[in-house]
Amino acid sequence: MKVLIVTAFILIIGSLASALIFLMKDRGLGKRTVKALALRVSFSVLLFICILLANKFGLISPTGIN
């Protein structure tokens, strides 16, 4: 489970970095920045769903705040 979460975070950060690079190169005129940011949002939603499912099936457990 930890590998999945770390991989998802790496993909999210990589997509965000590529969006920044595309924004700098295209000067905001291309559609590559929008596609990269949409991909980042997709990875974030997928990570959130995976965490919810892992909690539901007991693969992870909440620890609470003390």
Summarize the confidence of residues 10-27 as an average pLDDT: 89
- Side-chain-side CA neighbours of residue 44 (13 Å): 11
User: How many domains would you assign to the chain?
Assistant: 1
Is there a domain that residue 64 lies in? no
Is there a domain that residue 66 lies in? no
**pLDDT of 50 strictly over 70:** yes
**pLDDT of 28 strictly over 80:** no
Tokens of 28: 């905001």
Residue-wise burial string across 26-52, b where 16 or more C-beta atoms lie within 10 A, e elsewhere: eeeeeeebeebbebbeebbeebeebbe
Confidence band for 27, pLDDT divided at 50, 70 and 90: confident
Cβ pair 50, 8 in contact under 8 A? yes
Cβ pair 43, 11 in contact under 8 A? yes
Is there a domain that residue 33 lies in? yes
Is there a domain that residue 61 lies in? no
pTM: 0.76
Is there a domain that residue 19 lies in? yes
Confidence band for 65, pLDDT divided at 50, 70 and 90: low
Structural domain harbouring 36:
2-56
